[in-house]
């Protein structure tokens, strides 16, 4: 008896998540550098805030934001650029021929990358808390978990959408990933409250899910987080839910267009294009 589409897609997700989960244990040194290197940026901002005699919560903002950069880097280099790298090594044609959903293939990559990145981010937070004496106050752990989950769904949905766009851009995918790193760090408020940019700038940056997710998490973790917030937690959760739907729908259409282009022109998998 043949398996149905649901089971086939679930097996695909498990199959694509497995290499990332196991592969992360093959090079233990990578975990060390992924945790330690972000601490230099965190330390730089933390000491600047101390020199300016800013509130202690700002150092906590920096530690949390520095940990969340791991997710954005994972989106840029392990999700958005993934199909382009698969094309370069000759695996893209196998993905296009596989009798399963392309979203389940990227979904498996997302699950594997999310687990690995969450461990790295948690380790960064622990080390940052110990190094800078940051105190977290979890007022509502359930709400915090909801915020984190919807943020990750929307963020990885954006990564799936970018995967098709990067593939169509070809070699410019690498340059686009490099271009989007530092400006996004600034625009989304990784190291300071995004409200400081002004209402209109913060609203524009909210198209990137991690902006609202990080703002909501700061409100839930720090007692004075609401004073520096852009929107209320409930409003940000609602907007993030909308972004989840929007990016998943756009990702589906982008992947279907990419698949249609590959099957009709026969040129998408050629490395020289």
Give the position of tokens 């330390």. Answer: 43
Asked whether residue 272 is assigned to any structural domain, the reply reads: no
Average pLDDT over residues 138-158: 90
Asked whether residue 52 is assigned to any structural domain, the reply reads: yes
Residues 153-170: pLDDT tens digits? 999 888 888 887 777 776
Give the percent of the chain with pLDDT over 90: 18
Give the position of tokens 């720090």. Answer: 222
Residues with Cβ < 8 Å from 195, sequence gap 6 or more?
Answer: 189, 202, 215, 228, 229, 230
pLDDT top residue among 4 and 142: 142
Q: Which of 3-17, 207-221, 222-236, 255-269 has the lowest mean pLDDT?
A: 255-269
Give the percent of the chain with pLDDT over 70: 93
CB 244 within 8 A of CB 157: yes
Asked whether residue 198 is assigned to any structural domain, the reply reads: yes
CB 123 within 8 A of CB 30: no
* Separation of CA 238 from chain center: 19
pLDDT at 272 over 50: no
d(CA 155, CA 208): 7
Asked whether residue 105 is assigned to any structural domain, the reply reads: yes
Q: Where are the beta strands (DSSP E) in the chain?
A: none
Asked whether residue 107 is assigned to any structural domain, the reply reads: yes
Asked whether residue 89 is assigned to any structural domain, the reply reads: yes
Residues 193-250: pLDDT tens digits? 898 888 899 999 999 999 999 999 999 998 887 888 888 999 999 999 999 999 999 9
Residues 78-126: pLDDT tens digits? 787 777 777 777 777 778 777 888 888 888 888 888 888 888 888 888 8
Indicate the number of domains in the chain: 1
C-alpha dist (Å) from residue 146 to 45, 55, 74, 151, 211: 28, 28, 21, 8, 15
Domain that holds residue 166: 5-21+28-265
pLDDT top residue among 5 and 42: 42
Asked whether residue 271 is assigned to any structural domain, the reply reads: no
Question: Would you say the pTM of this structure is higher than 0.95?
Answer: no
Q: DSSP assignment, residue 191?
A: S
CB 230 within 8 A of CB 73: no
């Amino acid at each position: 008896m043949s398996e149905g589409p649901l089971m086939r897609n679930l097996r695909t997700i498990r199959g694509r998540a497995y290499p990332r989960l196991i592969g992360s244990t093959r090079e233990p040194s990578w975990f060390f550098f992924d945790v330690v290197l972000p601490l230099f940026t965190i330390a730089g901002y933390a000491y600047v805030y101390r020199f300016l005699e800013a509130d202690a919560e700002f150092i906590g903002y920096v530690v949390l934001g520095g940990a969340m950069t791991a997710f954005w880097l994972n989106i840029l280099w392990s999700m958005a650029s993934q199909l382009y790298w698969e094309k370069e090594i000759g695996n893209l044609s196998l993905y296009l021929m596989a009798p399963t959903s392309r979203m389940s293939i990227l979904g498996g990559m997302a699950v594997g990358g999310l687990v690995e990145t969450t461990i790295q981010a948690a380790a960064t937070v622990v080390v940052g808390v110990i190094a800078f004496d940051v105190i977290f106050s979890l007022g509502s752990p359930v709400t915090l978990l909801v915020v984190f989950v919807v943020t990750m769904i929307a963020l990885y949905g954006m990564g799936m959408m970018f995967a098709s766009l990067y593939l169509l851009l070809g070699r410019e995918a690498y340059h686009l990933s490099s271009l989007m790193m530092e400006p996004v760090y600034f625009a989304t408020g990784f190291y300071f409250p995004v409200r400081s940019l002004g209402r209109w700038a913060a609203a524009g940056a909210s198209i990137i899910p991690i902006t609202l997710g990080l703002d909501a998490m700061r409100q839930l973790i720090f007692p004075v987080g609401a004073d520096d917030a852009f929107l209320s937690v409930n409003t940000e959760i609602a907007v993030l839910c909308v972004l989840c739907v929007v990016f998943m729908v756009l990702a589906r259409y982008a992947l279907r267009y990419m698949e249609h282009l590959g099957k009709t022109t026969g040129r998408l998998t050629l490395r020289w294009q």
